[in-house]
């Protein structure tokens, strides 16, 4: 297995700054905005976006966390050691504009599960999707509204997003194995 760094710390920072502005522009401000970070790495990304927006708009944006374990369609293949993480939606989401935040968009199945989970909490005005990396290979009709970087991959490759809050450093790596 080898890996290639395809986004550096600076590139991640720039992408998040751009997206923070896009979100405010598209929503004409940040009234009623709520960020929901998907466990594990969507959560720090959501927190960073909220911090950026607060810095230039001077308005705090609530950030929630979501674990989709209970909504997955592949329960049978789950690792028994998988730890279910915290779901914490701090505000009533009915009528709000939700931005769902995840690190990698791949098949779209996690997003499908997240949409089901969010709808159990209420009826938001709309749900938008932000991902740091879109690697393609969708199996469901789902697309992102905000994308850090589009990275075409082959199905055998893997994308790893590493974030300071969890992994100690910021970078995105493309993992590819020699074909056997």
Partner 1 sequence: MRTNSLIKMERHHIIDLDDFSQEEIALIFATTDAMKEILSREIRRVPTLRGKTIVTLFYEPSTRTRVSFELAAKNLGADVVNVTSSTASVAKGESIIDTMRTLEALGADVIVIRHFQSGVPCLMAQHLQISVINAGDGCHAHPSQALLDLYTIREKLGHIEGLKVVIVGDILHSRVARSNIWGLSAMGAQVVLCGPPTLIPQELRRPQPLKGGECPFPPLTIQENLDRALEEADVVMVLRLQKERQEGGLLPSLREYIQLYQLNSARLSRAHLHALVMHPGPMNEGIEITPEVAHGPQSVVEDQVTNGVAVRMALLYMVTGGKG
- List CB contacts of 46: < 8 A, sequence separation 6 or more: 35, 36, 37, 63, 65, 99, 101
Q: Which is nearer to partner 1, 13 or 72 (CB)?
A: 72
Do 21 and 28 meet the contact criterion of CB atoms below 8 Å apart?
Answer: no
Q: Which is nearer to partner 1, 27 or 39 (CB)?
A: 39
84 binds partner 1 (CB under 8 A): yes
- The CA distance from 173 to 6, in Å, is 6
78 binds partner 1 (CB under 8 A): yes
- The CA distance from 151 to 160, in Å, is 12
86 binds partner 1 (CB under 8 A): yes
What's the burial of 37, exposed, middle or buried (CB within 10 Å: 0-12/13-18/19+)? buried
Residue from 1, 81, 156, 179 touching partner 1 (CB under 8 A): that is 81
Task: Output the six-digit token pair for 59.
Answer: 């308005």
Shortest reach from residue 80's CB to partner 1, in Å:
5
85 binds partner 1 (CB under 8 A): yes
Shortest reach from residue 3's CB to partner 1, in Å:
30
Q: Which parts of 113-152 interact with partner 1 (CB under 8 A)?
A: 116-117, 120-121
Contact footprint for partner 1 (CB under 8 A): 67, 69-72, 75-78, 80-88, 116-117, 120-121
């Amino acid at each position: 297995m080898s890996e290639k760094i395809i986004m550096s710390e600076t590139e991640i920072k720039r992408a998040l700054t751009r997206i923070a502005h896009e979100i405010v522009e598209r929503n004409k401000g940040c009234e009623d905005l709520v960020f929901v970070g998907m466990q594990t790495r969507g959560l720090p990304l959501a927190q960073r976006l909220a911090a950026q927006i607060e810095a230039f708009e001077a308005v705090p944006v609530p950030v929630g966390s979501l674990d989709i374990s209970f909504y997955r369609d592949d329960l049978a293949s789950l690792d028994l050691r998988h730890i279910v993480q915290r779901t914490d939606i701090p505000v009533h989401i009915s009528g709000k504009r939700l931005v769902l935040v995840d690190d990698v968009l791949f098949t779209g199945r996690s997003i499908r599960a997240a949409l089901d989970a969010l709808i159990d909490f209420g009826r938001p005005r709309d749900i938008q999707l932000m991902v740091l990396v879109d690697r393609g290979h969708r199996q469901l009709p789902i697309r992102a509204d905000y994308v850090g970087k589009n990275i075409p991959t082959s199905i055998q490759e893997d994308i790893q997003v590493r974030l300071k809050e969890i992994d100690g450093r910021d970078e995105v790596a493309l993992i590819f194995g020699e074909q056997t």
